Amino acid sequence: MTETTTPETPAETPAETAAEAPAEPAPVTAAPEPSEPPAPPMPPAAPPFVPRPPRRKLRAAIRWTAAVLVFAALGGAATYAVTQPERTKIPGLKTPDDGRWAYPPIALPKLPSGKPRPLVSANPSGAHYADERSLLLPLPEQAVPDRSFPGTTGWLPTAAYQKRYDFGLPDVARDADLALRADAVRHIAARAWTMPDGTRTEVYLVQFLTTGYRVVYFDGMAGVSVRGALDTVEDLKVQSPSIPRAVAVTAQAELKSSGDTSTRFAMLNAGDTFALVVQTRKGPLPAVPFHQTVRLQAQLLG
């Protein structure tokens, strides 16, 4: 530090000196040199830097992703539409006719008040409470009805129904007729028609008092064939998910036509009702309309 001199002053008394003289300042010492502060702790290592894509490219990527998803959905829908076409609904693409007949809209008949459907747990007897004639399959378009069959206006005599079978011997036919009466048949509904190509269809609905009587009758008919169809083989292709589970269907087709007429027939068991569907035609008999007719009749009975 730099020292300074103080000018001399007149002599002062001790009292003045004691009263006025300021205290002698404490000796000044040099301030210690400041020490360096401790180093701050090192921050944790940062994750590797990944540059973000420019906002414009990000937006473009989002747009393209959305476009791809939309086109994928539309492409899938178009594929389904082409693989599941409704007849002649696709412009420029006509579905060829597969031989099915055009039936009118089919609906189950109205049941009497408080009565259940035939093949449900609430109806253990399997009774059809609707009029059996209302369960006959309606005529398809272009069909010519056979007026000798009662249709919805009456009941078919038992003797007329029995003539549809080939029992071989008169005695066997007589016994079968007696058994049918003993098995408590209530009535028989029947309808028949012919299509423009010559295919004739006959439908018989035989209703018994209970399911038990129907079972006895069906067991007794084992080995009996319809008239005109002696050499047959089981037709398994008639089975379909469209047939109600509670309706048992068996079908037969001729291995070789009897003469110039082909025959197919099916037997349906549904609760208290036994149904017989027969189709005949001169020359080959297509399977498609036969299967279609049997399945629709099964749906009405179920």
Element (H, E) at 268: strand 261-270
pLDDT at residue 224, as a whole number: 85
Mean pLDDT across the stretch 181-201?
A: 92
Considering only 73-87, 111-125, 178-192, which range has the smallest mean pLDDT? 73-87
Q: What is the DSSP string of 106-162?
A: --PPPPPTTPPPTTSTT-TT----S-GGGGSPPPPTT-EE-TTS-TTSS---HHHHH
When pLDDT is averaged across residues 84-108 and rounded to a whole number, the result is 63
Say if residues 247 and 179 touch (Cβ distance below 8 Å): no
Q: What is the pLDDT of residues 162-182, one digit of tens each?
A: 999 998 888 878 878 887 877
**Spatial separation of the C-alpha atoms in residues 160 and 179, rounded to whole Å:** 15
Rounded Cα–Cα distance for residues 150 and 242 (Å)? 28
* pLDDT over 50 (residue 149): yes
How far apart CA 84 and CA 86 sit, in angstroms, is 7
- How far apart, in whole angstroms, are the C-alpha atoms of residue 191 and residue 133? 9
Mean pLDDT of 83-98: 42
Q: Residues for the chain: how many in total?
A: 302
Identify the weakest region by mean pLDDT among 67-71, 137-141, 145-149, 259-263: 67-71
Q: Are 115 and 271 in contact (CB under 8 A)?
A: no
Asked if 202 and 208 count as a contact pair (C-beta separation under 8 A), the reply is: no
Query: How many Å apart are CA 99 and CA 93, to the nearest integer?
Result: 18
User: On the CB side of 85, how many CA atoms lie within 13 Å of its CA?
Assistant: 12
- pLDDT tens readout for residues 281-291: 999 999 999 99
* pLDDT at 90 > cutoff 70: no
Higher model confidence: residue 3 or residue 199?
199
Q: What pLDDT does 56 receive?
A: 47
Determine the average pLDDT of the residues in 217-230: 86
Task: Give mean pLDDT, residues 61-72.
Answer: 43
- Judge whether residue 104 has pLDDT over 60: yes
Residue 46: half-sphere exposure toward Cβ, Cα within 13 Å: 3
For residue 290, give the nearest of 266, 257, 254, 270 by alpha carbon: 266
What number is the average pLDDT over the span 75-93? 36
Whole-number percent of the chain with pLDDT over 90: 50
- Cβ-contact 265, 229 below 8 angstroms: yes
Least confident piece of the model among 49-53, 80-84, 129-133, 216-220: 80-84
Residue tagged 């109806």 (tokens): 123
Mean pLDDT confidence for 36-44: 52
**Prediction pTM value:** 0.68
